[in-house]
Structure 1
Amino acid sequence: MNYVNDRFCELVQLPRNRQAILAMKKDVDDFLPSFCDSPAKLSRWGHHYFCDDDGGRLIFDLNSPHSHRCEICGKVYSNDVQDGVWVTFYRNRAVVLALVSAAVYKATGETKYRDYALQVIDFYAAHYHEFVLHNKENKIFDSYETMKWGCGKMMPQGLNEAIVAIRFIQTIEILRPELEQEWLENVHRKLFREMFRLLAPQAVEIHNISCWSLAAIGVMGLAMKDQEMIDYAFTSPFNIRRQLAEGVTADGFWYEGSIHYNFFLLEGVSYLFLFSKIYGYDFGQESTAIFERMFEKAYEYAFDNLYLPNPNDGWPNLNLRTFSYVYHTAARAFGEKSKVGNLLKIIENDPNPRTTLPLSEPYYCCGTVCLEQLLFNIDFDYSDYRPVAHVSNTFPTSNFAMLRNNNWNVFVKYGLNGKSHAHPDIMNIEVMYKDQRISRDLSNAGYQSRLCNEWHRKTLSHNTVCWNGQDITSVHPGKCLRFDADSFSGLALDVYEGIDYQRNLHITEDSLVDEFLVQGKSGVYDYVFHLESQLQLECEMPLEDASLGFSENGYQHVEETKKVLVLGDKAVLWAVFGELRMKIELQLENGQELFLLKTKDNPVNQTRRSILVRARGEKVRYSMQLTV
């Protein structure tokens, strides 16, 4: 099996593919002829490249290495940190476009594109020993023996270095028939052996970053016929087979509980899986089964419109098309007629536009066609696929469940498998009515953004219950008490120490009924439900200005608080968007108070309407029904 599809040179001449190659040529021609880098430039962590005011990503402008403008509010940042991130983005673009340039050469035979690609690899191989060994906190080390975990050289951390290593190997694999053995041995010695020394000490726990380090080591080893690297990837103490066996739940989901990190991990492993196929190495029967199941389960926990739930760390508004490039890589290895190949075709036929990633974004020609589709699966018949029905499902070892019928999708997260990348939002729900998102998880902006840590990672920004204005403390699994096609009941113990949560959900064709039970300690309990920013909230009951009394843990970012003056124990609100008119009925028991809030979205220049029901005591019951 070859890396590039055997029919690539033939089918790339079709008109639709020629247009893609022309666009790729322009991207390369606009950058690589003037490529210039220096080991003296220190790279910085990409998560710094976000606006503190609204969480918007800063614009990477090739012509502006010292001035960085927010894509939302226009605020300009000028300091060493953002300058260092610009260096990271510049190098990443150079490495990605070297890969693109190799593909253009393969398609056109124009030797300048081969030379561009080799120029980039030659530079980094020749100067790799000169790059400063440092981590994302900008601490500098003098050797691999003294460095702390997480270091990079070209890039700000080992994770990014692993990505770069794989990109270089991909480029070489496209150009391999053109490359002399002496050149390959030189790059192997100067670049890949040094990357191995950097990455091997960083694969020391069950973690997504370890998987990337092992994937890079294995890909380099297979492509360069370096048995030490191959053995390290597959037989070292925290080898890739152990990562999959211990890090993936029985439900086929990466244990850290993030959709983004689940796919991010799949991306790295997919390269190693593909290179194992190319070079005839046994990936392992159990590992292969786990890897394949992860792709199948991802389709099962997607909403019907193929948008994805967003528990824990990650990026907002992701859909399966966001990760079509990962499915393309896996489908190259599994084959067009495989389950993964069939799911890829369903994704490629999805009418919704692809949503993008703010960091580690792969290459999509004109924003729509990924490079992997052209290189790997250019001969697929995308009209020939088998529909796969979505049904209600539970994922008990991942603490997730999804209820579905013809109208509703309700995703619930009722526990955690540890603190890594966790958000304090146990018993959070996301709600979809047909193609209309009613309430989604915000995920977060970049980790160094002030609002990521002051709002997106706070209990209050999620659809759950806050106690005494504090963030949920548990990072432990919950329990599914009952599940069927239209009902779910989940229990989480010690969500706060000594406080237990139970949430019961039921859907009909017209309604969603939510019952939330809390018991344990006396205090102030705030049940929160956020509506998407496009939904207007109508209230016919009197309102008065109010204060929630808390000023930390996200409460300081509530923009407006109105108390609803409710007569009796029942309140009715309306959520309205276009022709959608949704009745929200709240049963208020034992003196519960109803508040309407304006809260921040992601990005935070958008505003959501939020419902908060406050109760006091040590045993509380909330009840809400949505009816269309």
Structure 2
Amino acid sequence: MNAAYTPDWQGIRRRVATRPWAANVLAAIGSDFTRWTDDLVIPGPDRPSAWTHHYFCDADGAPLRFDPAAPASHACTRCGRAYTGEPWDGAWRTTMHNAAAAQAQRAALLVRLADDHRAAEELERIAAAYAGDYLSYDIHGVNAGRGRVHPQSLDEAVWAVCLLRALRWADDALTPATSTAADAMARAIADLLRPQVGMVHNIHCWLLAALAECAVRLRDHELLRWCRDSPFGAQAQVSEGVHPEGLWYEINPHYHYYTVAALLSYREAAGPEGLSEEAARRLSRAITAPPALAYSDTRLPAYGDGWAECHVGDFAPQAEAACAILPEEPLDLAPYYARTRRAPVPLWFGNTSPAPGCVELKGRSSVAALVFGPDDVQAASPGRPGSFVWPHAGIGLLRSPAVRLAMRFGPDAGWHDHRDKLGVDVETATGWSSLDLGTSGYGSDFTAWMRSPLAHNLVVVDGARQPEHAGRLLESSARRLVAESAWEGQVMRRRVTVSDDGWSDLCTVTLAAPLRIEWVFHGDGAFLPSARALPAPGPDGEAGHAWLREVRRIEVPHDRVLRGSWEVDGAPELTLAVPETFEAFTALAEGNPNGRPLGVLLLRGHDDHARFHATFRLRGPSQAAG
């Protein structure tokens, strides 16, 4: 196999000298390096690290505030609730380990691009600390494999990629003793991670990336071939894990781009022969596909365990890196810069600590752009993609002048799937939306609500989550989608149709025996029915009911047609046929990604069949949505 991809350091120096954006990135790296030189403390092997998914508030799902100077003090960034002791102290140590690997990458860049002697000393300090103590960190972990420095194989792998890449970029600017110790560390990392590779999954892509870095450092050609060709090697990860349309099988954009970063990191280390040309082209489609799903503000839908604050521009580093690491297919970077936000300079790929004080830039502001991207990005072409269906990924998206509506009907997406087949998410031209809520930290109580059926626009049977299964597409056109979801004698069909002034939604349910059936739809603002609504006991049971508040029972009109709208500007007017014997409720809930109140409308009955027909009409002139 060929050697690892080596950045053109002389060309990057020219870029810094001739492109202001590149000079700004390098200056920010230097400033952040100085800031972290003062704050960085490398946690020793005496106390174990812990899962960073514990670093979220139970009450509202917001992340806790990481303070480098306060290893035993943690507070919610939203409500201020304080947390002390374990596992939060251990999660703080995990975050600091990530900060050390990130600092190593900054140091390597400054060694290469600024001949910075302080950076060489800092790189030596970090490498010597970990290489000298690596085997003293106890193997531990319960969530996703086991690590030494980190609490699981995934975090261990990401940390190892960032640290070993920094040493490779710096051309091993270490003392001979530290370099020898780093070799031993790489062998120990390989011995720890290689036996844990065992499935097609984002975690295992990161294990392969770390193993490729170990193999390159150790010149271990057998290990590098194994990383590519083993049953769960990189070739299998791409061919079996990436749908032909370009979407990673776990569907949600966060894990999609997280996996893409792992596979790009793998190929960066493994070199051109690390993937076949066909696999490289499919991986290129993983860069071009997701922007087609975006809302008008460039937010990406948080399907499954996705993170709600994901925008296309957040993943520009992956697109920039792909320009050099996947030369088989030309890539258009313009969609990734259609709208950008000021943020700390993203490393490639490393977990930038959320601690305050780092320089924030806007536009082309990543290490990946500096090291891998082209000198300039062409302007975006006007217009957006129309309606489309991805049959393998199981997503259909409809667009009209009034609305952007997507429905998911595909195969199960694994552990991160919220089991919400036939769920829909909507954005209107008038600014109203019904978004997928995504997730919070997996150790947070709030995530139980976000994963519950009632947190999705669904028909729920017997108050339970759907089992693992695949839906199927029955019909599609530019204005209509029809899909089916069936298991254990239960059959659901959903037909959604968009028009110039709104959309219609028809759901039918057929069961083998009478069970509780609930139709639920939520959106921006409290739902205000035209009929009278009275305070009522909350609909009890599982499936997220406990998270509903201000529950009110709606008096269903004699004609069984419920009318109303959500209490925000631009909300659609709803007309909903309520089946006989079904009751109607309205409530509020938390977790709307855009920060607005989340108004929930729920119909409930007990039967072996039901038909729900809803029509949504927008008031006023419409414009192109999304």
TM-score normalised by the chain length of structure 2: 0.90
Residues 587 and 603 (structure 1), Cα distance of their counterparts in 2 relative to 1, 3 Å cut: closer
User: Per-residue displacement from partner, 1:281-322 (whole Å, max 9, x unpaired)?
Assistant: 352123212211222222333335432122211211312112
Give the 5 Å matches for 1:76-475: 76-136=82-142, 150-176=145-171, 178=173, 182=176, 186-277=180-271, 280-335=272-327, 338-340=329-331, 342=332, 344-350=333-339, 361-362=351-352, 366=360, 368=362, 369-377=365-373, 379-384=374-379, 386=381, 389-417=384-412, 419-434=414-429, 436=431, 438-453=433-448, 455-468=449-462, 470-475=463-468
User: Per-residue displacement from partner, 1:93-139 (whole Å, max 9, x unpaired)?
Assistant: 111121022223333222101221232122111111111111146xx
2:308 maps to a residue whose letter is P
Whether the aligned pair in 1 keeps the contact of 2:315 and 2:336 (CA below 8 Å) is no
User: Per-residue displacement from partner, 1:220-246 (whole Å, max 9, x unpaired)?
Assistant: 323542213212211223211112222
Aligned position for 1:519: 510
Q: Distance in 1 between matches of 2:419 and 2:464?
A: 6
1:558 is aligned to 2:553: no
Q: Which of 612, 617, 622 lines up with 2:607 in the alignment?
A: 617
Residues 549 and 351 (structure 1), Cα distance of their counterparts in 2 relative to 1, 3 Å cut: closer
Residues 397 and 365 (structure 1), Cα distance of their counterparts in 2 relative to 1, 3 Å cut: farther
Residues 594 and 607 (structure 1), Cα distance of their counterparts in 2 relative to 1, 3 Å cut: same
Aligned position for 2:624: none
Residues 177 and 41 (structure 1), Cα distance of their counterparts in 2 relative to 1, 3 Å cut: closer
Aligned position for 1:8: 12
User: Per-residue displacement from partner, 1:314-333 (whole Å, max 9, x unpaired)?
Assistant: 21131211211111211222
Whether the aligned pair in 2 keeps the contact of 1:304 and 1:390 (CA below 8 Å) is no
Q: Distance in 2 between matches of 1:375 and 1:119?
A: 24
126-135 or 588-597: bigger deviation: 588-597
1:26 is aligned to 2:12: no
Displacement of 1:450 in angstroms is 1.0
SS in structure 2 opposite 1:41?
coil
Q: Distance in 2 between matches of 1:402 and 1:490?
A: 12
Aligned position for 1:504: 495
Whether the aligned pair in 2 keeps the contact of 1:517 and 1:621 (CA below 8 Å) is yes
1:539 is aligned to 2:534: no
Displacement of 1:443 in angstroms is 1.0
Whether the aligned pair in 2 keeps the contact of 1:205 and 1:238 (CA below 8 Å) is yes
Displacement of 1:176 in angstroms is 1.2
Displacement of 1:372 in angstroms is 1.2
Aligned position for 1:145: none
2:35 maps to a residue whose letter is D
Q: Distance in 1 between matches of 2:410 and 2:378?
A: 39
Q: Distance in 2 between matches of 1:292 and 1:485?
A: 26
Residues 356 and 421 (structure 1), Cα distance of their counterparts in 2 relative to 1, 3 Å cut: farther
Q: Distance in 1 between matches of 2:310 and 2:343?
A: 8
User: Per-residue displacement from partner, 1:158-190 (whole Å, max 9, x unpaired)?
Assistant: 11111112112321233117467x468514522
Aligned position for 2:577: 587
Q: Which of 39, 45, 51 lines up with 1:39 in the alignment?
A: 45
Displacement of 1:396 in angstroms is 1.9
Structure 1, unpaired ranges of 5+: 138-148
TM-score normalised by the chain length of structure 1: 0.89
Residues 604 and 59 (structure 1), Cα distance of their counterparts in 2 relative to 1, 3 Å cut: farther
How many residue pairs get aligned? The number is 602
Whether the aligned pair in 1 keeps the contact of 2:412 and 2:468 (CA below 8 Å) is yes
2:468 maps to a residue whose letter is V
1:7 maps to a residue whose letter is G
Displacement of 1:485 in angstroms is 0.6
User: Per-residue displacement from partner, 1:375-430 (whole Å, max 9, x unpaired)?
Assistant: 222x4322355567412111222222111123311111124425421213221111
SS in structure 2 opposite 1:504?
strand
2:537 maps to a residue whose letter is S
RMSD: 2.7
Q: Distance in 1 between matches of 2:153 and 2:491?
A: 40
Q: Which runs of 4+ in 1 moved over 6 A?
A: 352-357, 603-606
User: Per-residue displacement from partner, 1:470-519 (whole Å, max 9, x unpaired)?
Assistant: 2223211111000111100000111xx32111000000121111111111
SS in structure 2 opposite 1:58?
coil
Whether the aligned pair in 2 keeps the contact of 1:55 and 1:604 (CA below 8 Å) is no
Whether the aligned pair in 2 keeps the contact of 1:305 and 1:435 (CA below 8 Å) is no
Q: Distance in 1 between matches of 2:561 and 2:221?
A: 70
Q: Distance in 1 between matches of 2:8 and 2:23?
A: 17
Q: Distance in 1 between matches of 2:419 and 2:587?
A: 20
Whether the aligned pair in 2 keeps the contact of 1:317 and 1:355 (CA below 8 Å) is no
Displacement of 1:339 in angstroms is 3.6
Q: Percent identity?
A: 23
2:556 maps to a residue whose letter is V
Displacement of 1:577 in angstroms is 3.2
Q: Which has the higher contact order (CA 8 A, sep 6+)?
A: 2
Q: Distance in 2 between matches of 1:415 and 1:61?
A: 42
SS in structure 2 opposite 1:42?
coil
2:125 maps to a residue whose letter is Q
User: Per-residue displacement from partner, 1:550-605 (whole Å, max 9, x unpaired)?
Assistant: 23221111112112223222222123534x24211112232433211111215799
Displacement of 1:66 in angstroms is 0.4
Q: Distance in 2 between matches of 1:367 and 1:509?
A: 40
User: Per-residue displacement from partner, 1:125-158 (whole Å, max 9, x unpaired)?
Assistant: 1111111111146xxxxxxxxxxx7010111111
Whether the aligned pair in 1 keeps the contact of 2:549 and 2:587 (CA below 8 Å) is yes
Q: Which of 490, 493, 517 lines up with 2:486 in the alignment?
A: 493
Residues 241 and 251 (structure 1), Cα distance of their counterparts in 2 relative to 1, 3 Å cut: same
SS in structure 2 opposite 1:315?
coil
Displacement of 1:540 in angstroms is 3.4
Displacement of 1:79 in angstroms is 1.0
SS in structure 2 opposite 1:615?
strand
22-31 or 485-494: bigger deviation: 22-31
Structure 2, unpaired ranges of 5+: 619-626
Q: Distance in 1 between matches of 2:521 and 2:275?
A: 45
Q: Distance in 2 between matches of 1:492 and 1:446?
A: 29
Residues 573 and 42 (structure 1), Cα distance of their counterparts in 2 relative to 1, 3 Å cut: same
Q: Distance in 2 between matches of 1:563 and 1:161?
A: 51
Aligned position for 2:564: 573
Displacement of 1:266 in angstroms is 0.7
Whether the aligned pair in 2 keeps the contact of 1:3 and 1:173 (CA below 8 Å) is no
User: Per-residue displacement from partner, 1:64-108 (whole Å, max 9, x unpaired)?
Assistant: 100100101101100121000000000101111210222233332
Displacement of 1:606 in angstroms is 6.5
